[in-house]
Structure 1
Amino acid sequence: MRLTDDGLATDGPVEKVYDGWKYPDDWVTEAYSLEGPKLFRRGDWFYLVTAVGGTAGPPTGHMVTVARSRSVHGPWEDCPHNPVIRTWNPADKWLSRGHATFVEGPAGDWWAVYHGYENGFYTLGRQTLLEPIRWDKQGWPHAMGADLARPLAKPSGGEAGPHGMAWSDDFSGQSLGSRWRFYNQAPGAGARATVGGNALTLAAKGTGPQDCSPLTHLVGDHAYECSVSVELTDGASAGLLLFFNDRLFLGMAYDGERMVSYRGGKASYWQEPVEKGSRIDLRIVNDRQIVSMYHRTPGGEWVRHAVRSEVSGYHANTMDDLASLRPAIFASGKGSARFRDYRYKALA
């Protein structure tokens, strides 16, 4: 569909120009799902990079396909060696590889940026992958990373930027959007969180993790620990979680009198003994998908929760939601909770 020059409105009818490359019918995929078209020009050709096969589901289902044309209106010619990128063996390190964008590097080299699931760590969600691309004499791209099992030379030229970001937060400044985000954030929800005095004050909402829109942040580590200090006001319940979505999470909540333990997206049978008060420190350790939880009164010794969990099943193929298992803080019920000194540490 054509757009107006300012890009703010459509200008003309919908025009169908491409049906997508069709893989053999006996390939086991999640669904055909032609999606994510990326259009760019190289030389005299327009290239259309698409995804087919479904993002999750069977580990060999997702794939990258390429077509080209002299005009954006077609006709489009499919690459003779489609799919250009795909997980062929479910035992590979990276599964469900697809949804690529082709980019030219600073030295004239070409790369595909796409996503995949790490074998054994679906809980980390779709991770970003980078693979070198070679163009043949006929003008078709070839992916050169094989199964990505071995290290590859990084792009040449340019200047390296900072790697990653620190997830720890002393709440001395506003970090919503850059570090934290609300799950299923509604319009105006950002007003629930205010920062001041090295604390984040979060207005309570809902009855628990399932309907309170926790604040979450991403992780990419196989093993890590996170901790936070909590202060309750006006009858709030607050806590620390590992959160996938509103149907699947685990962690703990404290209301000043008791602790509620969550596992499998619901309150657990276990009643963890805890002292009464308005302040508590909470800690979660995720050691390669074995999760232990701890609590302490401020200044006291850490007390390990009596129940541990294995969380390798907290992922998209379990819950049909393209998310990841990530740390979260939340406040539910009435009143509000103040969070201080959030610490995140990757473990070896």
Structure 2
Amino acid sequence: MRFIDRRAALTGLLGGVAASALPVRSVLAQTLEEAAPLGREWANMKWRRGIENQRMADLGDGTFLNPILSGDHPDPSILKDGDDYYMTFSSFESVPGIHIWHSRDLVNWRPVTAALTTNIGSVWAPELIKQEGRFYCYIPARFPEYRSNYVIWADRIEGPWSAPFDLKLPAHIDPGHIVGEDGKRYLFLNGGDRVRLTDDGLAVDGPVEEGVYDAWRYPEDWIVEGFAQEGPKLLKRGDYFYMITAIGGTAGPPTGHMVIAARSRSIHGPWEDCPHNPIVRTRSGAEKWWSRGHATLVEGSAGDWWMVYHGYENAYWSLGRQTLLDPIEWTDDGWFRARGGDLSQPIAKPRGGQAVPHGMALSDDFSTDKFGLQWSFYDPQPNEKDRLRRDSGVLHMRAKGRAPADCSPLTFVQGEQAYEIECEIEIDPGAVAGLILFYDRALYAGLGFDAQRYVTHQYGIERGRPANPHGRRMFIRLTNAYQNLYFDTSGDGVTWRRFDRGMEVSGYNQNVRGGFMMLRPGLYAAGEGEARFRNFRFRALGA
């Protein structure tokens, strides 16, 4: 293969231009914000900043600004348990998964545990509930060769959580749990179907009933991804059971996803569609939040009511679907309506409740075990955790595969439009390691190195291999500045040099690749031997 040196080619084209006409720092240099490829029309939005400069929803003045959980926290399932709220999300191919977060005011959240430690496939839209003093989580999951729905349980939210029970439901996703007026437990499923559960909630009790609810239909000229009746969430209030459903497709056009409602006096129907449907919908691609949907209703501490649902941040599909909080009000006719508008402005916080410390530090000196709470492997084998060992502030990772595509990188969720990560990395002879932004095994970007050369990862392939002047130990800093990606390297962590390859990663997302995930920062080790990681640092950029 012939490599073209574009710098040399440009020099030849310039020909007689004097070198003095090209200053070291051009007067045309841009700020990070000016260089952002997309989304600058919302640059005026300012969040309060917390740990490591990460954005917080709570503005500290009695109001909040969405998202309540930034970054990839899709398909939220929320549980009110006395004064406490717990919420979990789809975790897809990341294991440990089913991360559970805790709040007492619906705005400030802290992580509690990762309830699922077994790889049961790509985890979609779970349902977290409490029934007769026990916590349950119903989980649809799929491998290419096997699909089903599972349930895990625990007597304490912190765990230990049980191993998964297979419900043998291969054709459905998005379970929504409810106890009917007959005292029986049911899971409502995508497509308007339903199945009854045994009294202990650990198995199905009979066949799937098809078509128990035919959802409201939008006008055929609306711009959507597809009908996709999914995400049923049910509650009993007064004389009615209410079913909240997502339709329109969870990605695709920004105007696709939406929230609709129906009600019935009996769990067995008939179901009456809300005359105000859709309750929530992104009506324009100019709005701050795209593809809003997959909602659950929850009562606040002082009796006010709210919806949690997800949405993509305008121009930032690469951040995944983020969790949003929208106030609702019940109307005299027994329906409800959303009051938060397009969620681009501060909203009065829920009344009552008590704020918990929000978020967590994403830097890691590897002195404590953050595996599961922060770090997860991508599509791991059963013994994948055996690759990791912590010792005296060093994370040892045994190498696997040949590249990020087949080495199960160690990644985490973050929610910033702009941030940098930095780490000291040392490798054995024969190993290659580095920092990456990882969507899936076919789409990632980053910088790694072996003992002689760098390796540049772009578009999910390994590209340029310039000489590595640092040998088997170096510091790498990766900066994702509003979806412009660049790298700096150092031999001592003091003097840094810009690596001559930048990238633009806004297209590393669901609408390009599928899979519904986000572009996660992470570490990888491939080849032979091991890599050693020290002093991993995260810092959000921006004000």
Shared fold by TM > 0.5? yes
Does 2:397 correspond to 1:195? Answer: no
Amino acid at match of 1:214: P
* 1:285 match: 479
Write the letter of the residue equivalent to 2:485.
V
Task: Tell me: CA distance 1:162–1:299, structure 2 relative to 1, closer, same or farther (3 Å).
Answer: closer
C-alpha contact 1:92 1:119 (8 A) present in aligned 2: yes
Amino acid corresponding to residue 302 of structure 1 in structure 2: W
> Alpha-carbon deviations, 1:196-247, whole Å to 9, x = none?
2111111111110111110111111111110011111252111101111111
**Alignment of 1:41 onto 2:236:** yes
Distance change in 2, residues 1:284/1:276 (3 Å): closer
Contact 1:272 1:305 (8 Å CA) reproduced: no
Query: Which residue of 2 is the match for residue 64 of structure 1?
Result: 259
TM value normalised by structure 1: 0.97
Taking the TM superposition and a 5 Å limit, the aligned residue runs for 1:223-302 are 223-268=418-463, 270-302=464-496
TM-score (norm 2): 0.63
**1: CA distance, partners of 2:240 / 2:387:** 50
3-state SS, counterpart of residue 386 of structure 2: helix
Paired AA for residue 344 in structure 1: F
Q: Is the 8 A contact 1:63 1:99 kept in 2?
A: yes
Q: Distance in 1 between matches of 2:245 and 2:383?
A: 35
Match of 1:305 in 2: 499
| Residue 174 (structure 1) aligns with | 369
- Name the % identity: 53
CA distance in 2, matches of 1:129, 1:299: 39
Give the Cα separation in 1 of the matches to 2:372 and 2:425.
Answer: 21
CA distance in 2, matches of 1:13, 1:210: 40
Pick aligned residue for 1:7 from 198, 201, 221: 201
- The residue type paired with residue 504 of structure 2 is E
The one-letter code of the counterpart of 2:416 is D
Q: Name 2:526's counterpart in structure 1.
A: 332
Pairing partner for 2:328 from 133, 138, 145: 133
**1:270-313 CA deviation, whole Å, 9 max, x = no partner?**
33332252211111011111111011113551111111112211
Asked whether the equivalents of residues 172 and 197 of structure 1 are also in contact (C-alpha less than 8 Å), the reply is yes
Matches of 1:296 and 1:160 in 2, distance apart? Answer: 41
Match of 1:157? 352
- 1:257 is matched by which residue type in structure 2? Q
| Cα separation, 2, equivalents of 1:196 and 1:80 | 61
User: SS of the residue aligned with 1:124?
Assistant: strand
Q: Which runs of 4+ in 1 moved over 6 A?
A: none
- Alpha carbons 1:272, 1:306 under 8 Å: kept: no
Distance 2:389 2:260 in 1: 46
> Paired residue for 1:26?
221
Matches within 5 A, 1:70-85: 70-85=265-280
Moved more, 19-28 or 128-137: 19-28
6-15 or 310-319, which moves further after superposition?
A: 6-15
Partner residue, 2:79: none
Going from structure 1 to structure 2, the CA distance change for 1:294 and 1:75 (only over 3 Å counts) comes to same
RMSD of aligned Cα (Å): 1.2
Structure 1 residue 88, shift from structure 2 partner: 0.7
The answer on whether the counterparts of 2:470 and 2:491 sit within 8 Å (CA) in structure 1 is no
Give the C-alpha shift of residue 90 in structure 1. Answer: 1.2
- Structure 2: distance between partners of 1:86 and 1:181: 33
Q: Amino acid of the residue matched to residue 195 of structure 1?
A: R
Distance in 2 between residues matched to 1:185 and 1:25, nearest whole Å: 42
Within 2, Cα distance between the matches of 1:224 and 1:13? 49
Q: Secondary structure at the match of 1:253?
A: strand
C-alpha separation in 1, matches of 2:488 and 2:459? 18
- How many matched pairs? 347
Please give the alpha-carbon distance, in whole angstroms, between the structure 2 residues aligned to 1:176 and 1:60.
37
Task: List runs of 5+ in structure 1 lacking aligned partners.
Answer: none
Shift of 1:322: 0.9
Which moves more between the two structures, 117-126 or 229-238?
229-238
Contact 2:328 2:337 in 1 (8 A): yes
On the 8 A contact 1:279/1:298 being kept in 2, the answer is no
